[in-house]
Structure 1
Amino acid sequence: MAELQESLAELRQTFKSGKTRSVAWRKNQLRAILDLIRDKEEVIFEALHQDLGKHPVEAYRDEVGVVKKSATHSLSNVEKWMAPKKAPIPLLFFPAKGEVLPEPLGLVLILASWNFPLSLALDPLIGAISAGNAVVLKPSEHAPACSSFLAKTLPLYLDNDAIKVIEGGADVSEQLLQHKWDKIFFTGSPRVGGLIMTAAAKHLTPVTLELGGKCPAILDSLENLPDIKAAIKRIVGGKWGACNGQACIGIDYILVEDKLKSTLIESLKRTIHKFYGENPQNSDSIARAVNKHHFERLRNLLKDPRVAASIVHGGSLDEEKLFIEPTLLLNPPLDADVMGEEIFGPLLPIITLENIQESIDFINSRPKPLAIYAFTKDETFKRQIVAETSSGSVTFNDVLVQFLCDTLPFGGVGQSGFGRYHGKFSFDTFSHEKAVLQRSFFPEIEPRYPPWNGFKLKFIRLAYNFDYLGLLLLLLGLKR
């Protein structure tokens, strides 16, 4: 605790010195992150393989490439983002000028998740640095190789007076949360997100919570699917190709019309076989459960006899290798845990409906998801989904790709979180937009001061209605 307090005092002193506010400092740190991922790419691949069994292609696509893209984008735009922006001022304030000035919040805490342990640590860090903050980064202890890599490597590249990595388990997180921060950014589960909010409330600390949720995929009828093969490939790739289902924006379940279920199941089976072979356990293209605890959690979901009876493909497990086969469940009970909690693993329930329009009511009957995916060419149905559901994002005819788009905000709503980041939105998340108004001493508007009378009431009424002609006539004595 004493060492932690000393580190936080050092960070606050660094921020107080104004060092992190300069554009030169921000750009130097962003360049250093680019240097780090270029120099240590193979080390990163190995760490991600140790923690999660990720193939280098998946590791580059979802981790290294994401960080490189984000840092490059911020480096190209940070000077523009941090510049004051002129604000229009009403004529009544003349002569005056106004501007909105982005300023860093101060000392921020980033609590990263284990499923994408590099990108979910460094991507928010890029936003915090771009905004000019001092930062404490706490990697997830559930990805120990990546946590160790960040702790050992970041100080070699970044300014250790302003950016520190603190490792540890839940006890360290609890110690960190006892302190006052100027911002807390957390990626993880809704349960832990509630604990973060409770701790932050003691100091009125603003928080951004990137949580999860049960993200549905809606598969429209065949006549509204111009390419069902492409749709199935994207579903399979999005479900099992991103950390084997351990992704907050991964597909949690599919909604489909009953008449299409057989076609869907057979297409999913063929594509799983094509991507991962006859025995996916021997494939190097699919990740594994992060640890025994999460493996057991997933196994317990399948232990429910009603859920086990719904398995139409897969279901095999290897505890030693922490591997669970891609598994399809047809209409598991809606009151089962597999449909009540975020799966965060390779199990995919398929829920059938009489009419795909019922999918809107089905989604609305449950907590708001982080993402909704819908495969359809029906423009009316698309408009219905956007207008009649609430979610962090909606993506049509693809999955996961919205996460890679820096020009779109990424974040949840309701139980899937709040706040947003990526690109300029990350900069905004870690900034305060300060209003600056400058006025002259002339002219003085006397009706703003007591003693009050009828003339002053008329003047103020006209001013608030922006009736400048009426004000002029009143001052000239031509309006009563």
Structure 2
Amino acid sequence: MTATQGTESRTHRSETAAEVVGRLRATFNTGVTRPLDWRVDQLRRLRALLVENEQELIEALWADLRKNAAEAKTQEIDFTVADIDETLANLESWLQPRPVEVPAHFGPTTTAYTTYDPLGVVLVIAPWNFPLHLLIDPIIGALAAGNTVVAKPSEISVHTSAVASRLLREYFDPDVLSVVEGGAEETTALLAQRFDHIFYTGNGTVGRIVMAAAAKNLTPVTLELGGKSPVFVAPDADVDETAKRLVGGKFGNAGQQCIAPDYVLADPVTAAALVPALRAAVEAQFGTSPQTAADFGRIINERHFDRLTRLLDSGRAAVGGQHDRD
């Protein structure tokens, strides 16, 4: 399933951010995005993109993060396809007007209801740690709601960005969904435009920039900025089972996920028992040489690697501690 002939040349022509947004707004203003059938068609295109190109997407995720095939398929592709399927199954009912109770002083014959209308042009700025899922998932909602979309993949996950950008251009009319690749300069140019909603996943520093830019146009924003995930291990916990769960949660995507356990709190006796249990759990999952384990991911780039290795100086490595920048 591909977009109409001529999409490739139109998409790759050099356009300013203002031209991209203007073109998408012109499409939205025609009303073409409002019918249910149109929305369903866009979601099916998105589903086909993921299913028909699964292997290429898995290979791109491996190239960026050394994310093993099972993890890439489960977390980045299947999870996203499931979201599309749920949306397709429920969209018609979600769009139905909802009656609202009317205060008595408006009169006995007065009725009211809530309708769900599209906003216009939506900007989706994706992060690098789940560069496919967190690019596509917000697009699902935006298209299902009847909007046109500007998609901005992360420039840090270069392989996934390149593949996803090419496929989005192949499967979608650029007057409906446009992809803008690049770094801070391109993102800044986009944020200078007026959008009707902005969806950003990433860090708090950039999140503040996004919100400040959106405020100039009173644009509503959705910011998913991660956070801290502490774990408290109670004295009566099963230490071995807890260690397995901690290792499973922490080492997924090499720890590069906002729901990974950040630190563990325990009383001294429990902590003393937990350390060897963690050591055993790491060895059980990755062997005695994690560097050679097929399902052990990698840090995205040298800047983040250097940031993490500096943390080793702040304490004592109880398990591991070796590192290889290359």
Q: Deviations over 1:235-265 (max 9, x none)?
A: 111100x211100111111111111112111
Tell me which of 314, 318, 323 is aligned to 1:317.
Answer: 323
Residue in 2 that maps onto 1:133? 147
1:109 is aligned to 2:123: yes
SS at match of 1:109: strand
Counterpart Cα distance in 1 of 2:257 and 2:288: 24
In terms of mean alpha carbon deviation, does 268-277 or 86-95 score higher? Answer: 86-95
Give the partner amino acid of 1:34. Answer: R
1:238 is aligned to 2:252: no
Taking only the aligned residue pairs, the percentage that are identical comes to: 40
1:282 is aligned to 2:273: no
Q: Deviations over 1:141-169 (max 9, x none)?
A: 00011111111101222332111111001
SS at match of 2:226: coil
TM-score, normalized by length of structure 1?
Answer: 0.63
Counterpart Cα distance in 2 of 1:136 and 1:142: 18
- CA drift at 1:217: 1.0
TM-score, normalized by length of structure 2?
Answer: 0.93
Unpaired segments ≥5 residues, structure 2: 1-13
Unpaired segments ≥5 residues, structure 1: 321-480
1:160 is aligned to 2:170: no
User: If you compute each CA radius of gyration, which structure gives the higher value, 1 or 2?
Assistant: 1
Residue in 1 that maps onto 2:8? none
SS at match of 1:27: helix
Q: Is this contact kept in 1: 2:121–2:196, CA < 8 A?
A: yes
**Greater strand proportion:** 1
How many residues align structurally? 312
Question: Alpha carbon RMSD of aligned pairs, Å?
Answer: 1.3
Counterpart Cα distance in 1 of 2:267 and 2:96: 52
Residue in 1 that maps onto 2:94? 81
SS at match of 1:105: coil
Q: Deviations over 1:315-372 (max 9, x none)?
A: 111011xxxxxxxxxxxxxxxxxxxxxxxxxxxxxxxxxxxxxxxxxxxxxxxxxxxx
Q: Judging changes above 3 Å, is the alpha-carbon distance between structure 1 residues 79 and 140 closer, same or farther for their aligned structure 2 residues?
A: same
Residue in 1 that maps onto 2:113? 99
Q: Is this contact kept in 2: 1:29–1:159, CA < 8 A?
A: no
Q: Is this contact kept in 2: 1:200–1:207, CA < 8 A?
A: yes
Q: Judging changes above 3 Å, is the alpha-carbon distance between structure 1 residues 191 and 14 closer, same or farther for their aligned structure 2 residues?
A: same
In terms of mean alpha carbon deviation, does 20-29 or 109-118 score higher? Answer: 20-29
- CA drift at 1:80: 0.9
Counterpart Cα distance in 1 of 2:74 and 2:28: 34
Counterpart Cα distance in 1 of 2:173 and 2:39: 10
Counterpart Cα distance in 2 of 1:272 and 1:59: 21
1:41 is aligned to 2:54: yes
Residue in 2 that maps onto 1:435? none
Aligned pairs for 1:205-284 within 5 A: 205-222=219-236, 225=237, 227-240=238-251, 242-284=252-294
Q: Is this contact kept in 1: 2:21–2:193, CA < 8 A?
A: no
- CA drift at 1:124: 0.8
Counterpart Cα distance in 2 of 1:200 and 1:5: 15
Residue in 2 that maps onto 1:378? none
1:173 is aligned to 2:212: no
